[in-house]
Amino acid sequence: MQRGSESRGTLPVHAQIASVLQEEIRSKHHARGEKLPSEAQLCERFHVNRYTIRLALDRLIQSGLVRAHHGKGHFVNIQPLVINYPLSPVMRFSEAVRQNGCKPSSKLLSVLYGTTSELVAQQLGIDPATMTYRLDILRMADGIPVSLNETWIPAQRVPNLEHHLEPFDSLYSVLEKRYDITLQREFSTFESTYPTPQMMNQLNVTPNTTILRIESVTRDQNGERVEYTAAHYRGDLCRVSVSY
């Protein structure tokens, strides 16, 4: 990291500092339970102000690696958050989070109405000119971002969906209560990748964090395909197993 500069590469300065500290924690330079250097010490080390350091520390808190104790400082978590997700036809991520002793929550980032790509249309078995809803959803465990989902649903299956999404908690709950649609996973594909700038911002991760991309198609109780999702899970927090 180039010191004394406010344009250190493509990432914001606080994100670069968080990346350095994250790597030090993962390499055990800072042991579990150990107190991190004070804000003043970090300011001196990285040649930045307290505001920038606090942003970096907040990013580490959101990553699940660090906890803050008021009046005492910041400490490396003794037990980092790890979500074990047994992927099966009926298992939902919120259920998996609860089984891991955490509180699930979701944030609806955007809803788009329009046509889709040939890839998505092929997965859903529809014509590319068919109108669809695309939803971008951030999913969390104990308030820590865990996955970023891009979901497409044919609009004809969920008319006026945008009017039934507030307050937002679970898409599947909306589908069941408003449209009498119960979904079951038909198949999934897996790919290891790295985060885009948007993912880094939403998931509070660094460029070298592994992302597990899981593309899934689900069908309703009548066997008709309803949903295609590209889910991006944080590889540092999620372990996915497949149940047959």
The whole model's pTM is what?
0.73
Q: Tell me, yes or no, whether 199 and 150 share the same domain.
A: yes
Tell me the per-residue pLDDT of 181-232, one tens digit each, with 9 for 90 and over.
999 999 999 999 999 988 988 998 878 889 999 999 999 999 999 999 999 9
Nearest to 185, CA basis, from 87, 93, 85, 89: 89
Domain count, the chain: 2
My answer on whether 101 and 214 are in the same domain is yes
Residue 65 is assigned to a structural domain of this protein: yes
CATH code of the domain containing 195: 3.40.1410.10
Are residues 63 and 144 in contact, defined by beta-carbon separation less than 8 angstroms?
yes
Confirm if 30 and 24 have CB atoms less than 8 A apart: yes
Tokens representing 33?
């339970």
Q: Is the peptide bond before 167 cis (omega within 30 degrees of 0)?
A: yes
Token pair listed for 219: 């069908």
* Residues 66 and 187 occupy one common structural domain: no
**182 lies in which domain range?**
83-242
Same domain as 89, residue 64? no
Work out the pLDDT band at 8, boundaries 50, 70, 90: very low
Q: Mean pLDDT over residues 86-110, rounded?
A: 88
**Tens digit of pLDDT for each residue in 21-42?**
988 887 888 887 889 999 999 9
